[in-house]
Amino acid sequence: MADTVLSASAADAGIAVTAAITTNLVAEIRDRHDLWPTATAAVGRLVTGAVLFGANLKGNERISLQIAGDGPLGAIAAEAWLLDDGSVGARGYARNGQVELPINTRGKFDVAAAVGAGSLQVTRSFDVGQPYVGVVRLRSGEIAEDLAVYLAQSEQIPSIVALGVLANPTGVVAAGGILAQVLPGADERALTELEKRAVALPPVTQLIAERADVNALLHALAGDLELRSQRSIPVRFACRCDLAKVEAALLGLGAEELQRLAREERQAEATCEFCKRRYVVALPPL
C-alpha cells in the first residue's frame, strides 16, 4: 500500500482529522540507519507525527520535530516538507539507532524507556519571516502523548494523537497515525463522542495491517462525522542535503581548520545524519 496522508474536517462539529500511512517511509529510514526494532518504533512514530503536522504545509514551509531525551536513543529528529511534485517529503534519524529494549507490560515497544526524560522541540519554518519554535517537557516519552501535550500547551489546540509502528528484526510491517484537532467553537457532543472513539480505537498498526487505507483510518476515529476531505497526498522519503550545504558548513570551520585539512588530508568528508549520503570535498593545496 502506498504511503499517503489525508486531511479532512467536520465543519459543523468543529473538528479536523488527518491520517497517514507511512510504512514504506519508516522502512526506508530503518534500512538507511540500520535501526533496531525499538529504535525503529521511536523514529517511525516521530516521523509519522511530522507528516501529520505537515499535511497542510505550503511552498517552502517545513516542520521539524526534535526530542532530546536522556534514554539510550539520545536525540531523535524528524522533518516534513512539501516537495516540488506536490508530495510530502520526510526524513528522520536517531543518534543511537542500535537500541533494543524488552517489550513493556502492555506488550508494546518500550519507546518511553528508550527516549527517557527530556524535551520536545517543534519548529515551524515559513516562506517568509522567522520560524516559530515551541518547546515542552516530555510527559511520557511515548511520543504520541507528547505531541498532543505540545499542541495543547504551545498552540492551544486540544488534540488526539495516535501513532504506531509494527516492526520486527527483518523489517517494518505497518506504520501510520491519526491526528484529530479541536477547532474554535467545537460541538461539545461531537467532542464527547470523539473522545469515546479514541479510547476504543484499535491500534493504528492493526488497522493498517488489515489493509485499511487513509480514509478508513480517518473514519475509525471520526466515526459518523460528516467529513469534507482534501485530496490524498503521497508521502515519501526525501532529504534536503546537497554539496552546497556541505561546502557552506566547511566554510564555517574557519580558515585555520581549513588550512590544516588542506595540508594534512587534502580533502574533507561529511556524512548526512538523515540520509547517510557521504560527501567528499577536495581541498586545493596551500
Is 80 exceeded by the pLDDT of residue 122? Answer: yes
Do 169 and 262 sit in the same domain of this protein?
A: no
Of the listed ranges 37-46, 122-131, 143-152, 159-168, the one predicted with least confidence: 122-131
Do 162 and 36 sit in the same domain of this protein?
A: yes
pLDDT at 258: 66
Do 126 and 260 sit in the same domain of this protein?
A: no
- Per-position DSSP letters for 137-184, written without gaps between them: E-SSSSSHHHHHHHHHHHS---EEEEEEEEEETTEEEEEEEEEEEEPT
Helix 37-53, helix 23-33: angle, nearest 10: 130
Please tell me the distance from the alpha carbon of residue 200 to that of residue 220, in angstroms, as a whole number.
10
Cell of residue 44, nine digits: 517511525
- Three-class SS state of 232: coil
Give the residue with greater pLDDT, 23 vs 267.
23
Do 138 and 268 sit in the same domain of this protein?
A: no
CATH of the domain at 142: 3.55.30.10
Give the residue with greater pLDDT, 87 vs 187.
87
Is 70 exceeded by the pLDDT of residue 262? Answer: no
Is 90 exceeded by the pLDDT of residue 29? Answer: yes
Could you give the number of structural domains in the chain? 2
Do 262 and 199 sit in the same domain of this protein?
A: no
As a whole number, the mean pLDDT across the chain is 90
Do 262 and 218 sit in the same domain of this protein?
A: no
- Other beta carbons less than 10 A from residue 114's beta carbon: 24
Average pLDDT estimate for 134-150: 96
Give the residue from 191, 164, 173 showing the smallest Cα distance to 19.
164
Please tell me the distance from the alpha carbon of residue 29 to that of residue 92, in angstroms, as a whole number.
7
Model confidence at 264, pLDDT cuts 50, 70, 90, reads low
Give the residue from 45, 140, 139 showing the smallest Cα distance to 94.
45
Model confidence at 249, pLDDT cuts 50, 70, 90, reads confident
| Strand bridging mode 4-10 / 233-237 | antiparallel
Cell of residue 32, nine digits: 538507511
Average pLDDT estimate for 226-234: 86
User: Side chain identity at 128, as an amino acid letter?
Assistant: V
Model confidence at 175, pLDDT cuts 50, 70, 90, reads very high
Domain coverage including residue 156 = 4-237
Do 95 and 52 sit in the same domain of this protein?
A: yes
Do 179 and 194 sit in the same domain of this protein?
A: yes
Do 85 and 223 sit in the same domain of this protein?
A: yes
**167-to-49, 76, 89 alpha-carbon distances in Å:** 17, 18, 22
Please tell me the distance from the alpha carbon of residue 34 to that of residue 28, in angstroms, as a whole number.
10
CATH of the domain at 273: 3.90.1280.10
Residues 6+ apart with CB under 8 A from 273: 93
Cell of residue 178, nine digits: 491519526
Do 201 and 256 sit in the same domain of this protein?
A: no
